[in-house]
Each structure stands twice: as C-alpha cells, then as structure tokens.
Chains A and B, each alone.
Chain A
C-alpha cells in the first residue's frame, strides 16, 4: 500500500534558525500522487499548510516551502527562519487531488521552537 515516512521528532530549534523536516513516500496504488503538508497547532484542528499537485513543482505558504521530487520520492518541508509560533505538529500526506479518495499520512513531526 501507500506509505509516508517523515522525520521522527521532536525536532527542537531556536528562533530564526533554519528548518528541514524530511518526507519520503511510496505510492503503489497511485500513479501520480499529490503531496501535502498539514499542520496542527496546539489546541487547534488539522489544517492544510501547502500542497503540490504536479511533480517538479514547489509549494509555499507562511514562509515554508516543499518541492515535489519524483526521482527521490521526497517532499521535504523547509523554512529559512523559524518563529516560536511555528511550534506545532507537521504531517506529510499523499493522495489524489482530483477525486474523492483518502489521504495517507505520515506519523507527524513535533516541532518545538525556542525563543
């Protein structure tokens, strides 16, 4: 089946440092998966951070970026300078955007940003 593997947390960084959370995927049931990063802030529900539908493209939101690399089957999340408010749990996921199918999630990476 499909699977997503991401950096095991918690990841602890200081404010203004750079961040990378690794995500690799295996899509056996989907020829052209779409890739997503979701985030859960403390006390809030899961929300979409960014998505990329097409291989080779980059998505960005709130200073975060991720590039869909079909060759390495990766979708790493990066940010040049994190803020304390970025502390949250980040989930990489794959699915097919254009239909009503399910998402396959990674286990999540806890990010703690210290001031």
Chain B
C-alpha cells in the first residue's frame, strides 16, 4: 500500500536495450530519490530531485543513466543501453524537507 507508485514492477531487457522505469511520488512530496539495490543488497544512491531540479547525482560517467522529474508527469529513470550489471532493484523514494521518506516497492530489472 505504498504511496509512492513505481512501474513496472518487473522489467526484463536484453543487453543493449533501453530500460525505462517510472515513479509517482507521494502527493505533496517535492523531493524524489532513486536508489539501486544490487543482488548483494547494497544500496547505491543514484540521483535526487527537488521539484524538477537535480540536487545531487552520482557521477554517471558512462552516461547510460538519465533521470528526470517533469512537472505534472511521473519521474523516470532510464538506462540507455542495459548491461548485465544493471540487473537490480531500483527504488524510488520521496519526502518533503522534514518528513519521513516514503519508498516505493521498486522496479526489479533483469538484463539478460
């Protein structure tokens, strides 16, 4: 019963294919985060937004990852050319400046 809605729940892509996942943050939450949780249960922060602006992001040196949070549309995380190592659970979370985080159930990406 998460108030952060992530779609799709599962995503299967071939190597080199584009993978896109979406997140609708909890209503009234202007700050949105994306995390990657790998098979070893390690969390990796990817990026966060306040409204439509990027606050922090990892050094996506490969430039395969991109994200946006347009106004009046779901936030999205896209991998341009999927690799096997991208297989993971991608978590979206949202909050206000002084509220608890609300996490979505995640999108589980499998790259085959």
A51, B35: Cα distance in complex, Å: 20
Count A-side interface residues using an 8 Å CB cutoff.
20
A107 to B42, CA, bound (A): 5
Check: B72 CB closer than 8 A to any chain A CB. no
**Out of A38, A46, A100, which one reaches B48, CB within 8 Å?**
A100
Among B41, B45, B95, B104, point to the contact of A45 (Cβ < 8 A): B104
Whether A45 contacts B100 in the complex (CB less than 8 A), given A102-B48, A107-B40, A108-B41, comes out as no
A14 contacts the other chain (Cβ, under 8 Å)? no
CB contact under 8 A between A98 and B98, given known A45-B103, A45-B104, A46-B91: yes
- Residues of chain A in range 57-115 having any CB-CB distance to chain B below 8 Å: 89, 91, 97-105, 107-108
Check if B105 sits within 8 Å of A102, measured CB to CB. no
